[in-house]
Chains A and B, each alone.
Chain A
């Protein structure tokens, strides 16, 4: 059964960095793009970045540009999201999610990791 398994919760100081991992089963990274989406406590969903591991292409949300990096290690089927210069407003659950496309080329997230809570606090 396909799945995405994320690393555990993190507590970080303002100004530091965090690196969250997302391990994919089967051949997910050789076939699908992976998004990172975050959700602040009690808030909605916000895209953070996208990686297409099999072509090495990455894109980031403009508001996080310069602070976020996503990478993939295909030998371990793991995708990483690193966020630097952490601020209190980065406190959120971070999800990785697989993208599928319909016959009409509409992209949707059909498989999600369990989420990783990142808390930024002094």
Chain B
């Protein structure tokens, strides 16, 4: 199975900061990469699909980039509601999808 890694595993940031999370796949996955936000006690929420396409209703301060094995999720102008855990997920080998370990963004 394709392994996904994320860095950092956790970070502390302030409201208004620009935050960057990276995700790496163990092999080429083209753009078959999605990003999710999960808040405590809630189901994940799809933010970005196909590496860079913003899901409808998601604020434009979220953006994604990358292709192949290396991907980035950027949150510009961090807002209080953005403190959460973020997961990348590959769908290159359906049905065997895999998630990254998650990156927790908390308040500095």
Contact = CB atoms under 8 A, between A and B. Distances in A.
A59 interface: yes
B97 A102 contact: no
Nearest to B46: A110
B43 A115 contact: yes
Given A46-B99, A106-B31, A106-B34, A95 B43 contact: yes
Nearest to B29: A106
Nearest to B32: A106
22 contacts: A33-B95, A44-B102, A45-B89, A46-B99, A47-B97, A59-B95, A95-B44, A106-B31, A106-B32, A106-B91, A107-B32, A107-B91, A107-B94, A107-B97, A108-B49, A108-B91, A109-B36, A110-B46, A110-B49, A110-B55, A113-B43, A115-B43
Interface residues of B, number: 25
B95 to A, nearest CB: 4
A106 B88 CA distance: 13
Would you call the interface of chain B mostly helix, strand, loop, or mixed?
loop
A50 B97 CA distance: 10
Interface of A: 33, 35, 44-47, 49-50, 59, 61, 95, 97, 100, 102, 104, 106-110, 112-115
Interface in B53-98: 53, 55, 87, 89, 91, 94-98
Q: Which 3 A-B pairs have the closest CB atoms?
A: A112-B43, A50-B95, A108-B49
A112 to B, nearest CB: 4
B38 to A, nearest CB: 8
Interface string B21-58: 00000000001111010000001111001100101000
